[in-house]
Amino acid sequence: MDAARTALLLCLLEVCAGVNPCCYWPCQNKGVCVNVGLEGYECDCTHTGYHGVNCTMPYFWTSVYTFLKPSPAFSHYLLTHYKWLWDIINKISFLSDNLMRLVLTVRSNLIPSPPTYNSDYNYLTWEGYANVSYFTRLLPPVPKDCPTPAGTKGYKTRPNATELAKEFLLRRTFIPDPQRTNLMFAFFAQHFTHQFFRTDFDRGPGFTKALGHGVDLSHVYGDCLERQQHLRLFKDGKLKYQVVNGEIYPPSVNDTPIKMKYLSSVPVDKQLAIGHELFGLVPGLMMYATLWLREHNRVCNILKEEHPTWSDEQLFQTTRLILIGETIKIVIEDYVQHLSGYHFKMKFKPELLFKEQFQYRNRIALEFSHLYHWHPLMPDSFKVNNHDYKYEDFLFKPEILLDLGVDTLLESFTAQIAGRIGGGRNINGNILHVAISVIEHGRQLRLQPFNEYRKWFGLTPYKSFQELTGETEIAARLEKLYGHIDAMELYPALLLETPYENGIFGESIVEMGAPFSLKGLLGNPICSPHYWKPSTFGGQTGFDIINTATLQKLVCLNTKRCPSVAFHTPDNLGHESNEGRERPKTEF
The catalytic site residues sit at: 194, 372
Residue 78: CB atoms within 10 A of its CB come to 15
Strands (E) located in 439-566 = none
Determine contact, residues 179/568, Cβ cutoff 8 Å: yes
Determine contact, residues 24/152, Cβ cutoff 8 Å: yes
Question: In angstroms, how far apart are the furthest CA atoms of the chain?
Answer: 79
DSSP for 300-351, please give it. Answer: HHHHHHH-TT--HHHHHHHHHHHHHHHHHHHIIIIIIHHHH--SSPP---GG
Q: Which helix (H) or strand (E) holds 34?
A: strand 32-36
Distance, in Å, from the CA atom of 127 to the CA atom of 120, rounded to the nearest integer, reads 9
Distance, in Å, from the CA atom of 379 to the CA atom of 376, rounded to the nearest integer, reads 8
Determine contact, residues 324/221, Cβ cutoff 8 Å: no
Q: Which helix (H) or strand (E) holds 448?
A: none
Distance, in Å, from the CA atom of 402 to the CA atom of 408, rounded to the nearest integer, reads 11
Distance, in Å, from the CA atom of 402 to the CA atom of 248, rounded to the nearest integer, reads 10
DSSP for 170-207, please give it. Answer: B-SS--B-TT-BBHHHHHHHHHHHTTT--B-TTT-TTB
Determine contact, residues 277/195, Cβ cutoff 8 Å: no
Residue 58 has what DSSP assignment?
Answer: E
Distance, in Å, from the CA atom of 476 to the CA atom of 495, rounded to the nearest integer, reads 17
Under DSSP, is residue 252 helix (H, G, I), strand (E, B) or coil? Answer: strand
Distance, in Å, from the CA atom of 420 to the CA atom of 180, rounded to the nearest integer, reads 9
Distances 483 to 151, 165, 320, 524 between C-alpha atoms, Å: 13, 18, 51, 43
Residue 532: CB atoms within 10 A of its CB come to 21
159 closest CA partner among 466, 488, 432: 488
Q: Which long-range contacts (CB under 8 A, 24 or more apart) does 331-337 make?
A: 331/192, 331/215, 331/521, 332/518, 332/521, 333/550, 334/550, 334/551, 334/566, 334/567, 335/185, 335/188, 335/189, 335/192, 335/551, 335/567, 336/514, 336/517, 336/518
Burial profile 409-429: b = 16 or more Cβ within 10 angstroms, e = fewer: bbbbbbbbbbbbbbbbbbbbe
Under DSSP, is residue 118 helix (H, G, I), strand (E, B) or coil? Answer: strand
**Exposed / middle / buried, residue 527 (Cβ in 10 Å: 0-12, 13-18, 19+):** buried
Distances 267 to 153, 264, 272, 398 between C-alpha atoms, Å: 54, 8, 10, 10
